[in-house]
C-alpha cells in the first residue's frame, strides 16, 4: 500500500442504472482516529436521485431475473474473487473510515468474501418441491421467484459485511437492488460496489445512493415500486420503517439493536470466562449489535470474576487502529461518544462504581467496566453501542436468565459453564435469536441463520444462511395438468 493510497480522499458518487452520477458532495467523513485525515466526500441524495435509482432497478428486474440462477451466481462469485484480491486495501479504507482495527476490518472483508462465495453456490440449490397431487394427472410443484426491486438500508458498523449479507442472496435470487448505506461509510461502500461493477453486474441491477436516512432512506422506504425493504440499524428507526412499510403492504425485514448478556456460572474458569466477556464487550470497540453489554454473575461469585475481567481488560491496547499493535480503535463519532459517556455518567450518578476505564481522549474511550449497576437503570436496559460493560449480580441461575430476558432486546445470549444441564436449560430459556455456550456473543458463521427476538427484530425472516433466500423470494405453486 502506498502512502498516497493511505491518505487519499475518496470522492463518492451515486451509482444509478450502471452510471456514476455527478452531484455536488456536501458531506465529508474524517478518520475517527485522526480528525485531520479527510477520508471521503459524498453527495446527499434528494428524492429525485432515489426515484431514478428505483426506476433503473425496476427496468433491470426482468432481464436479470430471466438469466439462469447460475449466471447470476457467477457474477456474485466473480465479485467475491475481486473483493478477495482487494482485501488488504479495502480493509485499510474501512479502518480509516469507520475506526475498527485493521485485524477486525480484514476479518470483516474475509467474512464478506465467504458470504459471497456461499450465496453464489446457492444458485445450484433446489428452489422448491414436487408434491403428490390429489388429481393423479396433475404435476404439482412449488418454486421460488424474486420479489422484484428490493431496498437495502444499512448501518455503519459493518459497512462491508452487512450490505453483502443482504445483496448476495437478493441478487442470486434474481432481484434488483437499491442500497442506501450509512452516511458515515460512503467510501467503503463505493469500494465494495466497484467489485460488483468490475464483476460485470448488469446496468440497473445494483444501484447505490448516498445520503441521510431521513431523506434518501425515507424516500426508498416510501417508494411504491420497492417491493421489499431489508433494514439493519437501530430499533427506533426500524420501528418507523415498519409502520411505513405496513401502510403500503411492502415486505419488510428489520434487524436492530441488542443488549446482549453473558451469564457466567460458578463452575466456569474465571480467566476463560473473562476472556470471552472482554472480547465480546470490547472487540469492535463494543460497536456490534451482538456485543456483550452485560455480564451476569451469581451472588458470592462476583469478585472472582471482576478480578479476572479487570486483568484481561488491562491487556487491551487502545490507539490508532491502523497500527497492528492496537487491539481497540476509537468510537465512530463524537455523537456516539457522547451517548457512551452519557450512559456511564448516569450510571455513576445512580451509584454504580467504575472498575476499569471511564475516561476518553479524542474519540478514544477506555474499555469501561461498571459494577453495582442497578437493574432498573438505563445502562442495564438500553443499548449503549460502545466499549462499556455492566456487571450485574443475580440471586440464582433462574434469576440470571430472568434478568437476561428482562430487557426489550433479544439478539444474542451467552453462558459460560461446563455443566450440560445448565447449558441446555440456558439454551431453552434464554429469549434470544442466537445462543452462545462457551463462545463470545459476537461472531456468526455465514451458513447459519441470524436474527433477534422482540425489539431486536421484526422476527419474520432470518438473515444469513439458507434462510436469507426466504425474504428475497416468494413461493409460487404450479399445477400442471396433463
Residues with catalytic roles: 255, 289
d(CA 271, CA 274): 5
Q: Using the rule CB under 6 A, is 289 a contact of ligand NAP? A: yes
Measured from the Cβ of residue 324, the count of other Cβ atoms closer than 10 Å reads 10
d(CA 365, CA 358): 7
Q: Which of 27, 110 has the CB closer to ligand NAP?
A: 27
Smallest distance, ligand NAP to C-beta of residue 139, A:
40
Applying CB under 6 A, among 109, 153, 261, 373 the residue interacting with ligand NAP is: 153
Binding to ligand NAP (CB under 6 A): which residues in 418-457?
452, 456
Binding to ligand NAP (CB under 6 A): which residues in 160-189?
180-183
What is residue 99's three-state secondary structure?
Answer: coil
Which region, judged by CB under 6 A, interacts with ligand NAP, from 70-78, 80-88, 211-219, 308-316? Answer: 211-219
Smallest distance, ligand NAP to C-beta of residue 90, A:
19
Applying CB under 6 A, among 30, 234, 372, 402 the residue interacting with ligand NAP is: 234
Q: Which of 385, 426 has the CB closer to ligand NAP?
A: 385
- Asked if residue 432 lies in contact with residue 413, where contact means CB atoms within 8 angstroms, the answer is yes
Smallest distance, ligand NAP to C-beta of residue 222, A:
9
Nearest CA to 170 out of 29, 22, 64 is that of 64
Q: Which of 233, 414 has the CB closer to ligand NAP?
A: 233
Smallest distance, ligand NAP to C-beta of residue 256, A:
5
d(CA 8, CA 21): 21
Smallest distance, ligand NAP to C-beta of residue 466, A:
17
Q: Which of 155, 270 has the CB closer to ligand NAP?
A: 155
# chain residues binding ligand NAP, by CB under 6 A: 32
- Asked if residue 273 lies in contact with residue 264, where contact means CB atoms within 8 angstroms, the answer is yes
365-384 footprint of ligand NAP as x/- string (CB under 6 A): ------------------x-
- Asked if residue 476 lies in contact with residue 142, where contact means CB atoms within 8 angstroms, the answer is yes
Q: Which of 214, 418 has the CB closer to ligand NAP?
A: 214
The Cα angle at residue 408 between residues 268 and 167, in degrees rounded to 5:
90
Q: Using the rule CB under 6 A, is 212 a contact of ligand NAP? A: yes
Binding to ligand NAP (CB under 6 A): which residues in 85-144?
none
d(CA 129, CA 89): 44
Binding to ligand NAP (CB under 6 A): which residues in 390-419?
411
Measured from the Cβ of residue 129, the count of other Cβ atoms closer than 10 Å reads 11
Using CB positions, name the residue nearest to ligand NAP: 213
- Asked if residue 165 lies in contact with residue 468, where contact means CB atoms within 8 angstroms, the answer is yes
DSSP letter string over 182-247? -TT-HHHHHHHHHHHHHTTPPTTTEEE--S-IIIIIHHHHH-TT--EEEEES-HHHHHHHHHHHHH
Q: Using the rule CB under 6 A, is 221 a contact of ligand NAP? A: yes
Region at 354 (left for phi over 0; alpha for psi -120 to 50; beta for the rest): beta
Which region, judged by CB under 6 A, interacts with ligand NAP, from 95-103, 127-135, 216-224, 316-324? Answer: 216-224
Which region, judged by CB under 6 A, interacts with ligand NAP, from 131-139, 192-200, 213-221, 435-443? Answer: 213-221
What is residue 24's three-state secondary structure?
Answer: coil
d(CA 452, CA 255): 7
Applying CB under 6 A, among 218, 440, 444, 464 the residue interacting with ligand NAP is: 218
Strand partners, 21: 14
- Asked if residue 383 lies in contact with residue 407, where contact means CB atoms within 8 angstroms, the answer is no
Applying CB under 6 A, among 257, 321, 386, 442 the residue interacting with ligand NAP is: 257
Applying CB under 6 A, among 258, 270, 367, 442 the residue interacting with ligand NAP is: 258
- Asked if residue 332 lies in contact with residue 32, where contact means CB atoms within 8 angstroms, the answer is yes
Smallest distance, ligand NAP to C-beta of residue 195, A:
20
Q: Using the rule CB under 6 A, is 155 a contact of ligand NAP? A: yes
User: Where do contacts with ligand NAP occur on this chain (CB under 6 A)?
Assistant: 153-158, 180-183, 212-214, 217-218, 221, 232-234, 237, 240-241, 255-258, 289, 383, 385, 411, 452, 456
Amino acid at each position: 500500500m502506498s502512502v498516497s493510497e493511505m491518505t487519499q480522499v475518496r470522492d463518492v458518487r451515486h451509482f444509478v442504472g450502471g452510471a456514476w452520477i455527478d452531484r455536488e458532495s456536501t458531506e465529508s467523513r474524517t478518520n475517527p482516529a485522526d480528525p485531520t485525515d479527510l477520508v471521503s466526500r459524498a453527495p446527499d441524495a434528494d428524492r429525485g436521485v432515489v426515484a431514478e435509482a428505483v426506476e433503473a432497478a425496476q427496468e433491470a428486474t426482468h432481464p436479470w431475473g430471466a438469466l439462469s440462477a447460475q449466471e447470476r451466481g457467477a457474477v456474485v462469485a466473480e465479485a467475491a474473487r475481486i473483493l478477495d484480491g482487494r482485501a488488504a486495501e479495502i480493509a485499510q479504507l474501512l479502518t480509516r473510515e469507520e475506526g475498527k482495527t485493521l485485524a477486525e476490518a480484514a476479518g470483516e472483508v474475509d467474512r464478506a468474501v465467504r458470504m459471497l462465495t456461499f450465496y453464489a453456490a446457492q444458485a445450484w440449490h433446489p428452489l422448491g418441491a414436487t408434491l403428490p397431487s390429489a388429481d393423479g394427472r396433475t404435476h404439482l410443484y412449488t418454486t421460488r421467484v424474486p420479489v422484484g426491486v428490493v431496498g437495502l438500508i444499512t448501518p455503519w458498523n459493518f459497512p462491508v459485511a452487512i450490505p453483502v449479507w443482504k445483496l448476495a442472496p437478493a441478487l442470486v435470487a434474481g432481484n434488483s437492488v437499491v442500497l442506501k448505506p450509512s452516511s458515515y461509510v460512503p467510501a467503503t461502500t463505493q469500494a465494495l460496489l466497484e467489485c460488483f461493477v468490475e464483476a460485470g453486474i448488469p446496468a440497473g441491477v445494483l444501484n447505490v445512493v448516498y445520503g441521510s436516512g431521513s431523506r434518501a432512506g425515507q424516500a426508498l422506504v416510501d417508494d411504491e415500486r420497492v417491493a421489499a425493504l431489508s433494514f439493519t440499524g437501530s430499533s427506533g428507526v426500524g420501528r418507523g420503517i415498519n409502520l411505513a412499510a405496513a401502510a403500503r403492504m411492502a415486505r419488510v425485514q428489520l434487524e436492530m439493536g441488542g443488549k446482549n448478556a453473558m451469564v457466567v456460572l460458578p463452575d466456569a474458569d474465571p480467566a476463560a470466562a473473562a476472556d470471552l466477556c472482554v472480547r465480546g464487550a470490547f472487540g469492535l470497540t463494543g460497536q456490534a449489535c451482538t456485543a456483550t453489554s452485560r455480564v451476569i454473575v451469581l451472588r458470592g461469585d462476583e469478585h472472582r470474576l471482576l478480578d479476572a475481567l479487570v486483568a484481561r481488560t488491562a491487556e487491551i491496547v487502545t490507539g490508532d487502529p491502523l497500527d497492528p499493535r492496537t487491539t481497540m480503535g476509537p468510537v465512530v463519532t463524537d455523537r456516539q461518544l457522547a451517548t457512551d459517556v452519557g450512559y456511564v455518567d448516569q450510571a455513576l450518578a445512580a451509584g454504580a462504581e467504575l472498575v476499569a476505564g471511564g475516561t476518553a481522549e479524542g474519540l478514544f474511550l477506555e474499555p469501561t467496566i461498571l459494577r453495582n449497576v442497578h437493574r432498573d437503570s438505563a445502562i442495564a436496559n438500553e443499548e449503549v453501542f460502545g466499549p462499556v460493560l455492566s456487571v450485574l449480580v443475580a440471586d440464582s441461575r433462574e434469576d440470571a436468565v430472568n434478568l437476561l430476558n428482562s430487557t426489550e432486546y433479544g439478539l444474542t445470549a451467552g453462558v459460560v459453564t461446563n455443566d450440560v444441564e445448565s447449558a441446555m436449560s440456558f439454551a431453552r430459556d434464554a429469549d434470544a435469536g442466537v445462543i452462545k455456550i462457551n463462545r463470545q456473543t459476537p461472531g456468526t458463521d455465514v451458513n447459519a441463520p441470524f436474527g433477534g427476538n422482540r425489539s431486536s427484530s421484526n422476527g419474520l425472516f432470518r438473515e444469513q444462511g439458507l434462510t436469507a433466500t426466504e425474504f428475497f423470494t416468494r413461493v409460487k405453486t404450479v399445477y400442471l395438468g396433463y
